[in-house]
Chain A
Amino acid sequence: MIKRNDIILGVVALLVALAFYLFFSLTKSDGSKVEITVQGEVYETLELSQDQSFLITLENGEYNTVVIEDGYVRMSEADCPDKLCVKHNKIHYNHETIVCLPHKVVVEIVNGEANTVDLIAK
C-alpha cells in the first residue's frame, strides 16, 4: 500500500541525500585552492580548477607570474636573480609549495588532494 505522500517523501529524501552527496563530492574534488603569500601576508587565493595566468607585483615593482593549468600550478616567470622558483616542478597536491626566496613569495596548494609524500628532501 504505497501512498502518494510516501512517494513524495521518498523523492524528497533522495534529493536531500543527492544534495549532500553532491555537496561533499564537489567540495572535495573542487576545493583545491592556490594560496599566494608575499612576506607572510596572503596576497591572493585562486581556484586550482580555474586555468589562468596571474601576475604578482611587489611594492618595489618586482614580479612573479603564476600559471594554473589542468590542475597544476607553476611559476612561469619572475625577475628574481636565481630563478629557482621558475625552475621548480609544477605542484598539485595539498601543501606543496613553490617558493621565491628573494621575493618572499610562497605559492601553496591548500585544501587540496592528499599527497602520498609528506615532505621532499632536496
Chain B
Amino acid sequence: MRKKIGTIALVVSLILSMTACAPSEKRYEASFLELFDTVTTVVGYAKDEETFTEYTQMIYDYMEEYHQLYDIYHDYEGINNIKTINDNAGILPVKVDQKIIDLLLESKEIEKITNHKMNVAYGAVLKVWHDYRTEGIESPEMAKLPPLEMLREMSEHTNMNEIVINEEESTVFLSDPEMSLDVGAIAKGYATEMTANYIEEQGFENGMISVGGNVRTIGHKVGEGGEALAWNVGIQNPEVESEMTTIHILELQDMSLVTSGVYERYYTVDGKQYHHIIDPSTLLPSEEYQSVSIVCQDSGRADAFSTAVFNMSLEEGKQLIESQKDTEAFWILNDGSFVYSSGFEQFIKE
C-alpha cells in the first residue's frame, strides 16, 4: 500500500513539475499604438519581464525617431522631417538627418528596379486620394472619386529627378514647388528593418517585430525543449470576415513578410470599394489582385516590392521577383486563385 501511495504522489509531483517547469527564457509579447499610425507588436524571449520590457522600450525609442523623421503630416519641435522637406518644396534645401537621406536613396534605387511602380515622389497624387478617402470614410453618403483631371494635373509633379539630395551638405530639396514626398510605401518597412538590425546588436537574438502587419522575424522561435524552430507567420485572408483568418502559414527565420492588400485601407463610392494602393501609370487603385505578399530578408525591400508588384501585371511582377536574389512573392488574384514565384512554396508550412 505504501508503494501505491508513492506512485500517486509521484504522479502528482510530475503534474506539478510539468506545469511549473519553464525554460530559462520565457516568451513575452508587447504592443503599442503610437507609431506609424498602426499597431506595433514585439514578440521575444527574455529571462524575465523586466528584461523584455527594456528591449521593448529600446525598440520603441529607436522606432519613434524614424516615425517622426518620416512623418508627412505632423511637425515635431526641433526636427526637420519629410513634412519639412515638402513644406519647403521650390523654396530651399532642408538640412535633414542621415536616416532621411538613406531612405530617399533607397527609394530612388527601388524606383529604378521596379520600373517606376513604387515612387515616393507621388505625394501630390496620393494626397488627393488621401483627402477624398478620408472624407468618404467620415461621411460615406458624400463619398466621391477624385476627378481624373485633378489627378492628371498632380501627376505632372512626380518626377523623382526633382528630388535633389546633397549628401555632403545633408540636405534635400524638391525643385518642383508643386511636388511632395509620400514615403508610405516604404517607410514602415525600412524603419522596421533598421530597428531589427539595431535591437539584434543589443542582444535581442530571437523575436519578431510587426509594424502594422509588416513582419520582420529575428532569429528563431524557441521550442518547449529549448530547440530552435522557425517562426510561423500567417498571411491574412483577404476575406477578412471569413472564419479562416490566414491563407498560408509560412516558416520564417531572419526573414520579412509583407502583404499589400485591398482590405487594409479603402473607402466605398456607389457601392464599390476603392483601396489605397494607387498605380502610378493609371493614377487609380490597381485592380488586378486581392493581395500580394513578399518574402525576403530586408523588410524595407519587402514593403516597397509589395506595393510595386501590386501595381504591376502578373508577368511584369514575376519578372521582377525572379530577377531579385532571395526574394519571393505570392499573389491572390481577384478570382481567388493563387500564384507563386518559383521559390515561394519552400516557406509554406506543411
Q: Hey, which bits of chain A sit against chain B, CB under 8 A?
A: 2-3, 6, 9-10, 13-14, 16-17, 20-21, 24, 40, 81-82, 87-90, 95, 97, 99, 101, 104, 106, 116-122
Contacts and interface: CB of A to CB of B under 8 A. Distances in A.
Given A16-B8, A121-B259, 6 more contacts: A24-B19, A116-B232, A118-B231, A121-B236, A121-B257, A122-B261
Interface in B105-149: 137-138
B234 A120 contact: yes
Contacts of B31: 97, 106
Contact of A119 (B8, B9, B208, B265): B208
28 contacts: A2-B1, A3-B1, A10-B1, A10-B5, A13-B8, A13-B9, A20-B16, A21-B15, A24-B19, A40-B32, A81-B138, A89-B243, A97-B31, A97-B39, A101-B37, A106-B31, A117-B232, A118-B208, A118-B232, A119-B215, A119-B234, A120-B213, A121-B213, A121-B257, A121-B259, A121-B293, A122-B212, A122-B213
Contacts, number: 103
Contact of B11 (A17, A24, A40): A17
A13 B5 contact: yes
Given A6-B1, A10-B4, A97-B31, A122 B241 contact: no
B8 A117 contact: no
B33 interface: yes
Given A14-B8, A89-B240, A9 B43 contact: no
A95 B31 CA distance: 10
A6 to B, nearest CB: 4
B43 A118 contact: yes
- Of B33, B257, B259, which is in contact with the most chain A CB atoms at under 10 Å from its CB? B33
B167 interface: no
B137 A116 contact: no
Contact of B137 (A13, A24, A82, A121): A82
B19 A118 contact: no
A95 B208 CA distance: 14
A101 B241 CA distance: 18
Interface string B237-277: 10011110110010000000111010111000000000000
Nearest to B221: A118
Contacts of A117: 232-234, 245-246, 249
A101 B39 contact: yes
A99 B39 contact: yes
A6 B137 CA distance: 74
Interface in B9-44: 9, 11-12, 15-16, 19, 29, 31-33, 37-39, 41, 43
- Smallest CB-CB A-B distances: 5 pairs: A122-B213, A122-B236, A6-B1, A117-B234, A120-B234
